[in-house]
Structure 1
């Protein structure tokens, strides 16, 4: 079956700009992990649909604001993660829990705002939804209901697994020269594992790596919520003493996969290691892979945990690099007027993603 996706959907700058407006500017986008925002004034910064954001713990409540001072547009928080009051380093303005200017040094002498001007000195606020320990932001003025994007069953599953997160995490970012959609399509494609990862990932899955994964009927359910789902399979996981020192999720020797549309692959190895892969779009042919990796919550302090996380991150990076080489080569060969992909019977999910994507983009009724 010929794919409905054309080469232009992966290479055209105008398509990328429309995605920023109609997908990333309308959908709930994963922003970060709640366990890293537990302390007062803890924050993280992200850019979603071209909008620089700060998600900050404001007296126990997570708020998302423009990461730009209302005065001269200076970023309020510079770092990707941190703990600092919501204040501008440039001229000293500070903001309250509603994102409105709380104090302005020498306000009466230097600025002389009237009452109406003063009341307008607020940051734009954006909708936040927290599912377990996963934080989502929607930058649209009228966000769609969260259940339109994720079913209640899926949200319950996400809340359950993410409740096992430790407060320790390790992060990295990997620049890649290909379209973000290629990455989401790649993680849906179990058939590539035996060919691309024969020595790194496939041995962990054993026979499961080549067994067909059950899929729903072909494009029968075209709801947006059908694109986010979970799966699990058996995995050959070496037992380490530290595993028993954590509050692990689910059964041992199980590989859990949560596909979170539009751009997240959330996995767990044996319920003791959790990895969130996010495919951040930067241009039609440029993506940044954001990796967040953490262990299950510790029952007692594990002194070696930083080294454990670093070791798992290196293993994860090896698998990602194997995919990256091929996806970058694929991107270089896409061209205007080129042939569309041909989907086999097993690629039901890819056809469903294409169908919903084209409707969201306004190209299909």
Structure 2
């Protein structure tokens, strides 16, 4: 069966711009971890649907604003993560918890705003939802209800597992020369593991060949619904024991691999309930993606002096697996061309066909 997606969906800059409008500017997009925003004025910055965003802990409440000063559009926060008041480094403007300009140095002398102009000096605010320790942002003026994108059962699953995160995490961002959709399709396709990861990932997984066929039956909602694209899958895996495992609060049964597919661009996995990895495929251009890794262990029962080294070691292992995928996906992207044949799907690729169907509906290309 031929895919409904054409090569143009992966290589055309015009299609990419429409995706920013119809998908990333309309859906709830994962932005970061609540655990990293626990302290006053802790912040993280992201770009969603082409809009620079800052999420900040303001008086104990998480707020999402456009990361541009109302004065001359200078970014309020430069770093990806940090702890700093919501203030512009260019001319010293500061903002309150509602995003209103709070103080403007030498306001009466230098600016002389009218009362109407002064009241309009406010940051654009965006909707925010926190599911467990996962923070989502929607930049649309009228956000869709989050239950339209994620079922109640799925949100409860995310809240449950993310409540086991340690407060420490390690991050990295890997540039890749392929379309973001190729990466999401790749993580849905367990059949490739035996061929692409025979020495890294495949030896850990049991009965991996059966997994793709099982995916199709795990979604209990209408196949045409957006919420059908986000779900959890589990499989048995062999987890090598390490002494530090006894020092954390393990999630779920031992030797289990949890895989959460969060549409449109996140694959969240748990290795034995001991290590958690969030992979996000951020679109940069039609042929470029930033793969963002956030990795943490389960909550510590006691202080683990070697935790930074443990996180670094696991991150390097996950990066090796990504590199194996990256070689093939970049080769695939480089050879896609206008007028080329669409992909041919087998019976096990039901979920890939579902993703394509809902994607075209979101894009307005299918009724």
| TM-score of the superposed pair, with normalisation by structure 2 | 0.98
2:28–2:146 Cα contact (<8 Å) kept = yes
- CA apart distance, 1:248: 1.2
- 1:237-252 aligned at under 5 Å gives the runs 237-252=239-254
User: What residue in structure 2 maps to residue 295 of structure 1?
Assistant: 297
User: What residue in structure 2 maps to residue 341 of structure 1?
Assistant: 343
User: What residue in structure 2 maps to residue 322 of structure 1?
Assistant: 324
CA distance in 1, matches of 2:155, 2:163: 12
User: What residue in structure 2 maps to residue 71 of structure 1?
Assistant: 71
Q: Extract unaligned runs of 5+ from structure 1.
A: none
2:30–2:135 Cα contact (<8 Å) kept = yes
User: What residue in structure 1 maps to residue 278 of structure 2?
Assistant: 276
User: What residue in structure 2 maps to residue 83 of structure 1?
Assistant: 83
Alignment of 1:166 onto 2:166:
yes
CA distance in 2, matches of 1:202, 1:222: 32
CA distance in 1, matches of 2:210, 2:338: 36
User: What residue in structure 2 maps to residue 124 of structure 1?
Assistant: 124
Q: Extract unaligned runs of 5+ from structure 2.
A: none
CA distance in 2, matches of 1:90, 1:331: 41
User: What residue in structure 2 maps to residue 305 of structure 1?
Assistant: 307
CA distance in 1, matches of 2:154, 2:14: 33
What SS does the corresponding residue of 2:64 show, helix, strand or coil? strand
- CA apart distance, 1:229: 0.2
Higher mean C-alpha displacement, 117-126 vs 213-222: 213-222
- CA apart distance, 1:114: 1.1
Query: Over residues 229-286 of structure 1, what are the superposed CA-to-partner deviations in whole Å (9 max), with x where a residue is unaligned?
Result: 0011111001111111111110111100000000000000011100000000000000
2:222–2:228 Cα contact (<8 Å) kept = no
Query: Over residues 291-348 of structure 1, what are the superposed CA-to-partner deviations in whole Å (9 max), with x where a residue is unaligned?
Result: 0000101011000000000000000000000000000000011000000000000000
What SS does the corresponding residue of 2:250 show, helix, strand or coil? coil
What SS does the corresponding residue of 1:30 show, helix, strand or coil? strand
2:211–2:235 Cα contact (<8 Å) kept = no
Distance 1:7 1:161, change over 3 A: same
Select which of 351, 354, 357 maps to 1:355: 357
What SS does the corresponding residue of 1:3 show, helix, strand or coil? coil
Query: Over residues 114-146 of structure 1, what are the superposed CA-to-partner deviations in whole Å (9 max), with x where a residue is unaligned?
Result: 111110000000000000000000000000000
Work out the number of aligned pairs and report it: 364
CA distance in 2, matches of 1:78, 1:215: 41
- CA apart distance, 1:215: 2.9
- CA apart distance, 1:216: 2.7
- 1:55-204 aligned at under 5 Å gives the runs 55-204=55-204
What SS does the corresponding residue of 2:166 show, helix, strand or coil? strand
What SS does the corresponding residue of 1:347 show, helix, strand or coil? helix
User: What residue in structure 2 maps to residue 35 of structure 1?
Assistant: 35
User: What residue in structure 2 maps to residue 10 of structure 1?
Assistant: 10
- CA apart distance, 1:209: 2.1
User: What residue in structure 1 maps to residue 267 of structure 2?
Assistant: 265
CA distance in 2, matches of 1:14, 1:172: 29
- CA apart distance, 1:220: 5.8
Query: Over residues 22-59 of structure 1, what are the superposed CA-to-partner deviations in whole Å (9 max), with x where a residue is unaligned?
Result: 00000000000000000000000000011000000010
CA distance in 2, matches of 1:83, 1:347: 44
CA distance in 2, matches of 1:272, 1:224: 30
Query: Over residues 71-106 of structure 1, what are the superposed CA-to-partner deviations in whole Å (9 max), with x where a residue is unaligned?
Result: 000000000000000000000000000000000011
CA distance in 2, matches of 1:136, 1:254: 26
RMSD after superposition: 1.1
CA distance in 2, matches of 1:215, 1:63: 36
